[in-house]
Amino acid sequence: MTETVTDATTTTTTTGAASAIRRVGVVGSGIMGSGVAELCARAGLDVVVQVSSAGSLVTGPQRLTRSLDRGVAKGKLTEQEREATLGRVSFTRDLDELADRQLVIEAVKEDERLKLELFATLDKIVTDPDAILASNTSSLSIVRLAGATDRPGHVLGLHFFNPAQVLPLVEVVDSVLTEPRVSDRALAFVRDVLGKKPIKSPDRAGFVVNALLFPYLLSAVRMLDSGLATAEVIDDGMVHGCSHPMGPLRLADLIGLDTTVSIAQAMYEEFKEPLYAPPPLLLRMVDGGLLGKKSGRGFYAYG
């Protein structure tokens, strides 16, 4: 769809700005990084995924292939589309291979120091002065990430939801330094190229969705910890009583309990509201390596 904005002197076609982005870089090949890479490749874009280890050069492509195979099995992709998508994605350990990218989306661990170092490095590597540097952070300050670069006006948040290739929403998060034309270009890219539903979210810990979601998840953990109800009862109550597609404790397992703690801590640090504080049970589970579905055990056991 083409959206044309006209005033007395100019006419701008947002689709043209969005379609100019053809080369995308993704940093990280975990659940979110691989999902974003698949989404971009299925939209016909050339995608380079940078990974941090030799092992990820194996597991990253495997994760992408498994996801595409599921799409074929469910009739959502043809074999030809699967092969074409795989052909658009390459994996590398070398950040320098992102030098020619027009958009780089960071999807690494929710660790502010790690992300700050990454943005400072990307700023030196990416050569296109119009390139957008985006973070998939769930809760961290976009303006702080932007401050690690010499192009803060070209830094914003693109917060996808898991699984990124399936869920329709993307939060577009401007900092106080993001240039309006960069924000408009990102919105058009998400809507017109990726076919997702973008919403503008404030640069506040948790943005819009997680600021509403995480007090709910943490409340469920506190209810479990207090002994008022079992995990099954809590989840069944919300699924069958409130028509939620998934109960809060299964959802926390899917998000990752370590990620849940990181997001909760970032929100509590900013707002000092008790409802954002991670409960002791959650902290102990993470300390014990019970991270949810990705580790095989969280509030539930996974085979």
Spot the catalytic one: 67, 141, 154, 159. Answer: 159
**Catalytically annotated residue among 34, 136, 201, 210:** 210
The residue annotated as part of the active site, out of 34, 56, 138, 201, is 138
Phi, psi of 258 (to 5 degrees): -65, -40
Helix residue ranges, H only, 175-208? 180-188
Q: Which DSSP string corresponds to 208-241?
A: THHHHHHHHHHHHHHHHHHTSS-HHHHHHHHHHH
Residue 135's SS3 state is strand
Annotated catalytic, 162? no
Known catalytic membership, residue 269: no
Which of the residues 106, 154, 171, 183 is marked catalytic?
A: 171
Which residue matches tokens 């085979």?
A: 303
Q: Are 270 and 207 in contact (CB under 8 A)?
A: no
Q: Which residue type does 225 have?
A: D
Which residues neighbour 35 within 8 Å (Cβ) at sequence distance 6 or greater? Answer: 67, 160, 162, 163, 164, 165
Helix (H), strand (E) at residue 142: helix 142-146
**Active-site residues: which are they?**
138, 159, 171, 210
